[in-house]
Amino acid sequence: MTAHVSVWHSAARSETGKVRAHNEDAVLERPVAGLWAVADGMGGHAGGALASRLIVDRLTGLTLEGDLTQRLAQVRQCLQQANRQLFQAATHAGGPTGSTLVALLAAGARAVCLWAGDSRCYLWRGGRLYQLSRDHSHERQLIDRQGLRPQQAARHPDAQALTRAVGASERLVLDSLELETLPGDRFLLCSDGLHRSLKPVDLGTALDLPLATLAIERLFAQALAGPARDNLSAVVIRR
């Protein structure tokens, strides 16, 4: 029997940053299984760190079988279970315990990005950067529903408030985007602490480097050269 050899290469990193006392982010890197994720916890250190770690631990223990459609159903079910556990914990605690989640699932030449919250998935292809995910945030709602310009929306006092997250409501609603991957594609999963620290051109310059490890080093060197007020987490995946 021929052993399965992954066509994917990846690198992941998570840092507390310069201001926060604790890191409430968690990252998942399973290249052989074709699954990666970034979770950014909310609800204070104890609740946020617990939420992001619970999500990543559940995804780590998931046995993925079948084609992409079947694997996606398994991931969705796993995340619904995590959502119920976090929502019940928040109900008993009387305060929020949740996390954003952005994940990439790959099988063969197909991949699916799925997310809840403002952690993002980017694709670097042919020298161009594409944002595949769409933030679930009040800032995004102000742009979409009220027609505010991005600069105006960003100044709103509730701009960074989330409209979706794992554990925030009784039933989790995930957005997803499926695509065919091409040799040379690079994906970036990251928390808002990272994508708010860097310009799109900085993301593209890093993703254009030949190795996932080099891309991660470049992203964090640039982000940590700035204020780094939030936790920073990223996973770079390439075919």
Confidence grade of residue 1 (pLDDT, cut at 50, 70, 90): very low
CA distance linking residue 57 with residue 81, whole number of Å: 12
CA distance linking residue 125 with residue 225, whole number of Å: 27
Q: Other C-beta atoms within 10 Å of 171: how many?
A: 8
Query: How does pLDDT run across 58-116, given as a tens digit for each residue?
Result: 999 999 999 999 999 999 999 999 999 999 887 776 666 899 999 999 998 999 999 99
**DSSP single-letter state for residue 109:** T
Confidence grade of residue 138 (pLDDT, cut at 50, 70, 90): low
Q: How far is CA 214 from the centre of its chain?
A: 19
pTM of the predicted structure, to 2 decimals: 0.91
CA distance linking residue 213 with residue 59, whole number of Å: 23
Residue 159 is predicted with a pLDDT of 58
CA distance linking residue 218 with residue 45, whole number of Å: 28
Query: How does pLDDT run across 145-174, given as a tens digit for each residue?
Result: 666 666 665 666 665 678 899 998 899 999
